[in-house]
Structure 1
Amino acid sequence: MGVLLSCYLMPHPPIIVPEVGRGEEKKIQKTIDSLNTVSSNIKEKKPDTIIVVTPHGYVFRDAVAVTVFPRLEGDLGQFGARGVRFEFENDLELVEKIVEESRKRDIPIAEVDDELAKKYVLPKKLDHGTIVPLYFVTKHYSNFKLVHISYGFLSCEQLYEFGTAIGEAIRNSNKKVVFIASGDLSHKLTPNSPNGYTPKGEVFDKKLLNLLSDMKVEEIIGMDKGLIEEAAECGFRSVCVMLGALDGYEVKAKVLSHEGPFGVGYGVAQFEVDQYKGTSLLEKLYRLKRQRIEEIRQKEDPYVKLARESLEYYVKYRKSMPVPEGLPEEMYTKRAGVFVSLHKDGELRGCIGTVVPQRKNIAEEIIKNAISAGFEDPRFEHVEERELKDIEYSVDVLTPPQPVKSKQELNPKKYGVIVRKGYRSGLLLPDLEGVDTVEEQISIALRKAGISPDEDYTIEKFEVERHK
């Protein structure tokens, strides 16, 4: 019977590698010391295999990616350190068991081989999210095979369940295994962050590390998705998979360090595995998720409820539902542009709208745009019936756009914007997570329109009545 020896949260800033940092790495010495502590701990355990889950490998929206190349190799050449190069043997025996256990649970898996790499034009090199942690590990211990996994944008509960598949695969093997959750914390931690700043970055980092130190799994999986998104992290999903791998074990958790001098949070933690009791949290996590969705459904106002029922009706019958009776009077008598947004597990799932009204009334506008958000947003596949139970809706009713003479007239929390140049236009709704300045708002709208910032474009503003 195989055994999971321990798990670790390890950050992956390339600058921490001396050949890249060239002295700058000394500014994160606490993290270096912690990574060396972790690596010494791994050396003592002498694992046969190390599993790394990374946010910078082959990340798909709808599947977890498991690399099946016989040899796994890569370097830090893109960061000016091509000499930092590694090659590992892939533990294909354990990979096969992980894939088998995942498919038993209906977890979507993408096996990245030569054919898939060619189809999606994927690089065959290891990413820095894998190389940087292993740079420190191999300074202490190198006699291991590697399993390389990239998380997908699945729900936290699904990622946790994928972790339970990894745990079961390990127990069904004859391997001694160490698990590394590669990931940085908030990328907006301080005002000098290159990704912008939000005070919620520090809130996220502290909350996650505190919850991890106490192994409050339910609270971690159920963390506010808006906070996670605004923090602009890249390690949370790696943590979800790791917690799933630890499902059923007694665990002693310890946060070794946290710092962020470059505006990105670097947290290091270790999770010592004790007795396996087999008591799983998975069913409870799914039940808590259903309860959260049901609470949202019960709080829907008529605008949001109509959007939801419109999409559900179309998915079932493939035709638009008639305007129902019993709506507020203004939904029958008023006309306005309407945007309907769909979110699933904290991620955008579709958003379509009209700037000026196209239908007889607001109710018809909502019905049409809800269907369009689920079926006509070119960024996403069509919504499927199995997804409906997890989708959250918001409806924005727009005021008529007004021309803007000066950017001083704008406020990204109050006003949405429309930029225009000839036939090109781009719209951004107001009060969006992570859009805190007029400059950010205009920049995003310009990118959506395909307009260069140095072109002569016009700006309009509008307000919304938001229902969510």
Structure 2
Amino acid sequence: MSVTSYQPPQKPALNKGEMTQLLDIAREAISGHFSEDLPRPPQLDLYNRKLLANGACFVTLEVNGELQGCLGTVTANEPLVIEVHNKARDSAYQDRRFMPLTEDQLDSLTIEISVLSEPKLLQVDSEEALLTYLEAHQVGLILTEHHAQAVFLPQVWAKLPKPANFLKALKQKAGWPMNHWSPNIRVKTFTTTQIKGKYISPIA
């Protein structure tokens, strides 16, 4: 099979109602930080089997349209509802690129949940082959070499629509020169199911 005919993974099969439940979980994880009680993880018996299955996700926070935090995992090690809760909390208060979220930012906060498909290894023998594939498939991408790894969600294509620029920026994120390529680089692709909404206090 040539790389250009290699199809990306299918999106996680979550419906709008299930994604809305995940968005509510993220809101509760964030709001719990500002309450007198410690934030509690989701009550598992409230959710269906798809939301209780192990899942990988990223939670992206923006304040007034500007990135405020984005953390996640590409490996499904925890039930999805727990992963969303933990990553929402971590994105708000543990992303070292940003100051922790403050209560006066909540009115301008938006939350985006991205649930990842299982990443698929893409066999490419050159950077040119990868760029050819990306011309046809604007997927999420994971580059790994030894202990270095970098991930771009599919949403990054909106800001970097040209495959060459997308790939250069991802290599920079990994700490490599923009012209770096090696036969040791492993390439994985994934897709996402997403939902984005304003922060609404679950207590209000």
Q: Is the TM value for this pair above 0.5?
A: yes
Question: Pick from 450, 462, 466: which aligns with 2:175?
Answer: 450
Cα offset, 1:319, TM superposition: 3.4
Cα offset, 1:358, TM superposition: 2.9
Cα separation, partners in 2 of 1:420 and 1:403, compared to 1, 3 Å: same
Residue 193 (structure 2) aligns with:
465
Q: Give 1:460's aligned amino acid.
A: K
Cα offset, 1:403, TM superposition: 1.8
Cα separation, partners in 2 of 1:412 and 1:304, compared to 1, 3 Å: farther
5+ residue gaps, structure 2: 1-18, 197-204
Cα offset, 1:437, TM superposition: 2.0
Cα offset, 1:398, TM superposition: 0.7
**After the TM superposition, which residues 291-330 of structure 1 pair with which residues of structure 2 at under 5 Å, given as runs?**
301-317=20-36, 319-324=38-43, 326-330=46-50
Tell me the TM-score normalized by structure 2.
Answer: 0.74
Question: Pick from 294, 313, 331: which aligns with 2:51?
Answer: 331
Residue 80 (structure 2) aligns with:
362
Higher relative contact order (CA 8 A, sep 6+): 2
Percent of aligned pairs sharing the same letter: 21
Question: Pick from 101, 117, 127: which aligns with 1:399?
Answer: 117
Bigger Cα Rg: 1
Cα offset, 1:355, TM superposition: 0.7
How many matched pairs? Answer: 167
Q: Give 1:424's aligned amino acid.
A: A
Q: Give 1:346's aligned amino acid.
A: G
**Counterparts of 1:327 and 1:313, CA distance in 2:** 20
Q: Does 1:420 align with 2:144?
A: yes
**Counterparts of 2:95 and 2:136, CA distance in 1:** 24
**Counterparts of 1:304 and 1:400, CA distance in 2:** 21
**Counterparts of 1:414 and 1:451, CA distance in 2:** 22
**Counterparts of 1:467 and 1:396, CA distance in 2:** 7
- The secondary structure found in structure 2 opposite 1:307 is helix
Tell me the TM-score normalized by structure 1.
Answer: 0.34
Cα separation, partners in 2 of 1:447 and 1:465, compared to 1, 3 Å: same
**After the TM superposition, which residues 153-302 of structure 1 pair with which residues of structure 2 at under 5 Å, given as runs?**
301-302=20-21
Q: What whole-Å deviation, never above 9, does each CA across 1:41-65 have from its counterpart, x for those lacking one? A: xxxxxxxxxxxxxxxxxxxxxxxxx
Cα offset, 1:335, TM superposition: 1.3
- The secondary structure found in structure 1 opposite 2:50 is helix
Kept in 2, the 8 Å contact 1:341–1:352? The answer is yes
Q: Give 1:352's aligned amino acid.
A: L
Kept in 1, the 8 Å contact 2:62–2:68? The answer is yes
Q: What whole-Å deviation, never above 9, does each CA across 1:418-450 have from its counterpart, x for those lacking one? A: 111211111100033312122222112111110
**After the TM superposition, which residues 127-138 of structure 1 pair with which residues of structure 2 at under 5 Å, given as runs?**
none
**After the TM superposition, which residues 40-189 of structure 1 pair with which residues of structure 2 at under 5 Å, given as runs?**
none
Kept in 2, the 8 Å contact 1:410–1:461? The answer is no
5+ residue gaps, structure 1: 1-299
Q: What whole-Å deviation, never above 9, does each CA across 1:363-405 have from its counterpart, x for those lacking one? A: 0000000011011111100111221222100101111111222
- The secondary structure found in structure 2 opposite 1:363 is helix
